[in-house]
Amino acid sequence: MSCSVEDLHWMSLALEEAELAMREGEIPVGAVIVRNGQLLSRAHNLCESGSDATAHAECLAIGQACREVGSWRLSDCTLYVTLEPCPMCAGAAVNARLGRIVYAAKDPRAGAFGSLLDLRSYPLEGRPAVEQGAMESESLALLRAFFAERRKKEKARD
């Protein structure tokens, strides 16, 4: 994917959120939602700290953006996220009618916009434009570092 300067700017904010998640012991995924060049929301994973399986960065950002605009429809918005959305998050994005989704790294284990499955191939109401690859190496580096540290801690406990 050829990234615009604007895409790189917004993805860098999503990466900042992913770094916050990592510092908090969460899987380092961050998301931001933008409308007409304005930041509507930003979030990172909070599943562990909130004991909430649904507290993924994308779902949190979508909820914040909906409250910000006063509508559940985000058709003129772009979601930037550091990892390909899982089925739950992809479903939320489709339901929110997001117009565009830009994600950094593919998720072969749970990605729902092309890797494991593609929700856009189903007859759903929303069909966002999806682009992949903006700051992919930076996102993958965070994920790899997080999981390497987790494995190291698990090994130390054994």
Give yes or no for a contact between 27 and 45, defined as CB atoms under 8 angstroms apart.
yes
3-state class (DSSP) for residue 81: strand
On whether the CB atoms of residues 9 and 15 are closer than 8 A, the answer is: no
Instruction: Pull the structure tokens for residue 55.
Output: 């507290």
DSSP state of 104: E
> At 18, which amino acid appears?
A
Q: Which residue out of 6, 17, 19, 58 is catalytically annotated?
A: 58
Q: Say how far apart CA 42 and CA 151 lie, in whole Å.
A: 28
The answer to whether residue 24 is catalytic is no
Count of other CB atoms within 10 angstroms of residue 8: 13
Point out the residues that are catalytic: 58
